[in-house]
């Protein structure tokens, strides 16, 4: 980030909404080590585990990193559906593969939507980083639309190709598709870090060994968490993606992502299609989203009719489905891996930067 006059580092205000699991812990540790990041606050949401677990996990990570950043608890379930338990397959029963520390949650403030809106009001230029299901963000948009209008949201959500919880859906989109739909219809500046991009940032157990041996108690905690994650995903036979770390690094270094404007819709029903993201990046695809299948059929019926201007009809239809997001389709994985290592290897050296 750019320096201010006089040599002072300009710190970027960031609010993090997280369903703290294994890769969330890595992402949070990295963010809290970055001198250019000012963590305004954090909120917890269900996702990788129950809300009680994700909140306790967030407090566990912050305590290990000696951070006093304020935490607000949020949604315990989606806007419409029951909470999915699929996160346990990757993150274990408690979301941190048995590394959660006991915390008294009675002292945690509640009301994530209000905390998110307050952060947006108080900090012009705020970036909201959403690492879990978008329920808290959607409720903030619904309750405080003016406060969230124009705010940058970097969300780990969606896929152009196959999903990672079903063949059609990425996990966060699947967990609460209605919330993603609300956010996409909002006036926020939405940037979606898709599965097509985030799966390319990959690490193996050599990473956890360095954390364990070089990074003090905080590194040892992260190493245990990461080992459980690697075992669950690969059975120790290869590399594993760290989606939340990719989103966090992209939020601070957007030059490391390949992006394009798009019109995005999310499927909110169907056992096999729930959470699928439909992404239109061309005029014809935008027109198809606006018209629907029946509208495309009607348009086709006019082809060959004297005076019918097909291209004009496409443009008019396209205008009814304007771009509502920037999608990240690829990342510079090597550069991100270097930044991740650079940030986390300082864990054993100095106090983490908090609020």
CA distance 23 to 54: 12
Taking phi over 0 as left and psi of -120 to 50 as alpha, with beta for the rest, 111 belongs to left
DSSP class of residue 2? Answer: P
Specify the pLDDT at position 346: 79
CA distance 30 to 32: 6
C-beta separation of 308 from 302 below 8 A: yes
Above pLDDT 70, what percent of the chain? 95
Of residues 36, 44, 39, the one with CA closest to residue 15? 39
Q: What angle do CA 102, 53, 186 make, to 5 degrees?
A: 140
Tell me if residue 203 falls in helix, strand or coil: strand
C-beta separation of 303 from 227 below 8 A: no
pLDDT at 351 over 50: no
Q: What does the pLDDT look like over 73-114, one tens digit per residue?
A: 999 999 999 999 999 999 999 999 999 999 999 989 999 999
Specify the pLDDT at position 293: 87
Question: Any residues with CB less than 8 A from the CB of 311 and at least 6 apart, and which?
Answer: none
Q: Which residue has the higher pLDDT, 79 or 205?
A: 79
Specify the pLDDT at position 347: 76
Tell me if residue 278 falls in helix, strand or coil: strand
CA distance 236 to 205: 8
- The residue length of the chain stands at 355
Flag the least confident range among 18-22, 44-48, 73-77, 233-237.
Answer: 233-237
Specify the pLDDT at position 352: 34
Specify the pLDDT at position 6: 53
Which residue in this structure is represented by tokens 């959607």?
Answer: 138
Tell me if residue 316 falls in helix, strand or coil: helix
Q: Where are the domains of the chain?
A: 12-270+323-344, 283-318
CATH class, range 12-270+323-344: alpha beta
Of residues 324, 301, 326, the one with CA closest to residue 313? 301
Of residues 297, 225, 292, 265, the one with CA closest to residue 29? 225
Specify the pLDDT at position 128: 98
Tell me if residue 101 falls in helix, strand or coil: coil
Specify the pLDDT at position 7: 53
Q: What does the pLDDT look like over 208-253, one tens digit per residue?
A: 899 998 988 999 999 999 999 999 999 888 899 999 999 999 999 9
Of residues 62, 29, 30, the one with CA closest to residue 43? 62
Rounded alpha-carbon distances, angstroms, from residue 57 to 34, 131, 175, 204, 250: 21, 14, 19, 22, 23
- Tell me the whole-structure pTM to 2 decimals: 0.93
């Amino acid at each position: 980030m750019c320096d201010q006059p006089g040599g002072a580092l300009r710190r970027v205000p960031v609010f993090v909404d997280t369903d703290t699991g294994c890769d969330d812990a890595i992402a949070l540790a990295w963010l809290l080590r970055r001198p250019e990041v000012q963590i305004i606050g954090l909120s917890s949401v269900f996702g990788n585990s129950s809300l009680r677990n994700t909140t306790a996990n967030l407090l566990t990570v912050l305590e290990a990193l000696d951070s006093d950043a304020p935490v607000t608890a949020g949604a315990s379930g989606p806007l419409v559906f029951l909470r999915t338990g699929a996160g346990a397959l990757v993150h274990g029963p408690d979301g941190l593969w048995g590394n959660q520390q006991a915390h008294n949650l009675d002292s945690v403030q509640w009301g994530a939507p209000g905390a998110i809106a307050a952060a947006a009001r108080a900090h012009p230029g705020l970036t909201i980083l959403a690492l879990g299901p978008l329920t808290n963000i959607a409720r903030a948009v619904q309750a405080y639309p003016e406060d969230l209008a124009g705010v940058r949201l970097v969300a780990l959500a969606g896929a152009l190709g196959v999903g990672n919880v079903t063949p059609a859906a990425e996990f966060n989109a699947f967990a609460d598709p209605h919330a993603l739909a609300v956010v996409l219809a909002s006036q926020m500046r939405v940037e979606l870090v898709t599965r097509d991009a985030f799966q390319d940032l990959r690490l193996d157990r050599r990473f956890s060994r360095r954390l364990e041996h070089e990074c003090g108690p905080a590194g040892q905690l992260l190493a245990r968490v990461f080992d459980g994650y690697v075992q669950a995903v690969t059975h120790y036979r290869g590399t594993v993606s760290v989606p939340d770390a990719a989103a966090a690094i992209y939020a601070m270094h957007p030059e490391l992502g390949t992006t394009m404007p798009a019109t995005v819709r999310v499927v909110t029903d169907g056992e096999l299609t729930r959470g699928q993201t439909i992404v239109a990046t061309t005029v014809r695809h935008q027109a198809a989203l606006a018209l629907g299948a029946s509208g495309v059929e009607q348009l086709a019926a006019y082809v060959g009719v004297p005076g019918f201007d097909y291209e004009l009809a496409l443009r008019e239809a396209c205008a009814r489905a304007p771009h509502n997001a920037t999608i990240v389709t690829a990342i510079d994985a090597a550069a991100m891996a270097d930044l991740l290592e650079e940030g986390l290897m300082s864990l054993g050296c100095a106090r983490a930067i908090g609020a």
